[in-house]
Chain A
Amino acid sequence: MDVKITKLFFILTSMLLCVSCFDGTDFEQANDVVVTPEIELDLIYFNLDASNFYDNATNTEVLVVEDTTDLDFLGGSDINDILKGADFFFKFTNSISREFNVTFDFLSQDNVSKYIMQTNVASGSENNPVVSYFVESLDELQIKELTKAKKVLVTIAISSSSQDLTGVLTLQSKTTYYLQIEQ
């Protein structure tokens, strides 16, 4: 009786072990996993009064104003490896009765230009501010160049100015980053 029971035990448990398996699966698929998040992030903004384009002290026009900021996160090697594209979106609202030419020059640490974006902003009025949009989509090759930059130089050029020029030029901007993370 005991021998039979012992055999039964081994047979049943062996069957249990033998039938258990991973069936209908393909673990090689793990190599195909690609994470593709799309990140929306504010970039820069400003509110530039018309008075910035005239020097009251010297009574002269200021036809170009510029400012620079570091964008350290762009230049990292980690982001460079996974960034596959980006859309830069700029929204200008102009209540100054002048057109503007705006340049975004992405510079390396040594001030070498890596990528330039340029756009014109239509003139408006204080009673009727005009909104202009500018979108620049960068593919993988272009974004590789841009991510060599560490900062951006923003240059705003006005055709003419005067002491009684009024209004404000505002910029709001964002970037959509297309990341691709894979093995």
Chain B
Amino acid sequence: MKKFLFIYLFLGVSFVVCQNKQLLYNWEVTPQTLMLNPGSLITNQFHIGVPLASQFHLHVGSSGVSVFDIFADDGVDINTKITNTISRLSSRDFFTINQQLDVLNFGWLSKGFEPMYFSGGIYQELDAIAYFPKDIAVLAWEGNRDYIGKAYDFNDISARADLLTVFHFGVNKQVSKKLTAGLRFKLYSSLINVSSTRNKGAFRTTLREGSANIYEHTVTDLDVEVQTSGFISLDGLEQSQVSKKLLGRALLGGNLGIGIDAGITYQLDDQLSLTASLLDLGAIFHTKDTELYKAKGDYILDGIELIFPELENGESTIPYYDNLEDDIAREIPFDTLNTGYTQLRPTKINAALHYDFGRFVGDKGGCNCKNNGAKKKRVSQAGAHYYSIFRPRGLQMAGTLYYTRRFGNTLSIKTTYTLDHYSAKNIGAGMFLNIGGVNLFLAADNLLQMSNLAKANSVSLQIGLNYILN
């Protein structure tokens, strides 16, 4: 059995991490549920994750295009498919990648005068989102020839990427028979950040009667900015030096920030419960190793006007081209700054209503005394879950209906149906296995696309290995 488990884990971790998806919210069997709602109902006395393996999460998504749309082996020229895709996508479509690796995760029940469950740890996170820059993509892919008069909007450029580590410590307490609340404090250490989310202005080529030349190329109300931190000091370093520097930043040597998570579970009656959480309410203060690039202004270009000056012998002609470059630089100055900036974390909101039903499983007797009177678990739970995240262009939301079935204390299976920006037919499933306190969980969404991930708009998974003492 152990050999089987080893082979399974090896294959699973090395092969599957790129392909699956998971939703852990309100799946109270995993200690990582506390990371999604610090106010979850906790029935453990103690948990500790296997370092670097207690949770690995990977999500890759695209709201408007799948791999199959571009790379389908269908005999259609790939350039035609790209043209069609650019035409179909809008500037509201986006690409995301989110990856988290638990370096350390632990928790224990403090049985003092006021029993509380403390938990803490360290995780590393990569989070990136890029909205599809529709107008810029059309300009780059097709040029302006067939789009005379069209305004190419710089507002379409919106992207952000963060690589950071998070040190966290939280407390969970059953406040009353009905209410459990939790709070988690976070200290962020940013390794690398790049962001360009507040751009505006437009470029347009117009054909206008009475203009000096055939066209007028106008840049109107341009205001674009790219913020970076953590890049310039890496420039020119060897790979080993880069790794060493990043490791230092991971251990609180980067740009620091603070944040909190908060959450509650409220039992409306014996079977109906409400949960809610607010995650990553905080900011990172980028003060070190920053570089900002800004361009702002207006300009009308109509070519180079020759004036045929009378030149004396040896007199050089007018430097029209240099003058043009100077004009553009004067009207649209490009600045490189090293000032600091503050960036809010992408805050997430969770809320769910769930209903427990069926016979009881789990602890003996009618009372779970380890959890200060919390009721025994039932074999089935059904619920509805709302999720949203603040992104540069506003809230992104998802709704999930789920059903959890427990098979003794050994196995718990959760199935989900999720409606989000990526898909309206996202069926997911998760399985949690507990063998003598050692628990392994694995879950994936988009099962309908599992036979061909190329057609999926998003793929994600969560996998973890923990030890839980009940």
Contact = CB atoms under 8 A, between A and B. Distances in A.
A and B associate in one complex: yes
Interface in A26-73: 26-27, 29-30, 32-46, 48, 52, 65-72
A175 to B, nearest CB: 10
A23 interface: yes
Interface stretch (A3-11, A123-131, A134-142): A3-11
B79 A32 contact: yes
Contacts of A179: 143
B452 A22 contact: yes
A182 to B, nearest CB: 10
Interface centre among B1, B304, B319 (most CB of A within 10 A): B304
Given A40-B144, A70-B320, A48 B68 contact: no
Contact of B140 (A9, A33, A35, A46): A35
A179 to B, nearest CB: 7
B140 A37 contact: yes
Interface string B435-454: 10000001010010011111
A17 B459 CA distance: 13
Interface residues of A, number: 59
A20 interface: yes
Contact of B410 (A6, A14, A35): A6
Given A5-B411, A13-B431, A29-B78, A41 B454 contact: no
B72 interface: yes
B303 A173 contact: yes
Nearest to A26: B73
Contacts of B19: 17, 20
What 9 pairs between A and B have smallest CB-CB spacing? A37-B143, A42-B303, A70-B321, A38-B145, A26-B73, A69-B320, A38-B143, A23-B452, A29-B78
A154 B73 contact: no
A108 B77 CA distance: 40
A78 B407 CA distance: 65
B307 interface: yes
A44 B308 contact: no
Contacts of A38: 142-146
Nearest to A3: B1
B415 to A, nearest CB: 12
A1 B435 CA distance: 12
Interface in B143-202: 143-146, 148
Contacts of B82: 33
A33 B320 CA distance: 38
B317 A68 contact: yes
Interface in B287-320: 301-309, 317-320
Contacts of B145: 38-40, 176
A40 to B, nearest CB: 5
Given A14-B8, A67-B307, A9 B213 contact: no
A52 B143 CA distance: 39
Interface residues of B, number: 66
Nearest to A151: B321
A30 B78 contact: yes
B139 interface: yes
Nearest to A27: B71
B409 to A, nearest CB: 9
Contacts of A24: 68, 72-74, 452, 454
A91 B454 contact: no
A89 interface: yes
Nearest to B444: A16
B378 interface: no
Given A10-B4, A16-B447, A25-B73, 14 more contacts: A2-B410, A5-B407, A9-B433, A21-B451, A25-B68, A26-B72, A30-B71, A36-B142, A43-B304, A69-B304, A70-B320, A156-B308, A173-B214, A174-B213
Contacts of B77: 32
A8 B408 CA distance: 14
A29 B215 contact: no
A112 B68 CA distance: 52
Given A35-B140, A37-B142, A22 B303 contact: no
Interface string B114-144: 0000000000000000000000000111111
A175 B249 CA distance: 51
Contacts of B68: 24-25
Given A24-B73, A39-B144, A41-B217, A6 B321 contact: no
B305 A46 contact: yes
B105 interface: no
A111 to B, nearest CB: 12
A59 B214 CA distance: 36
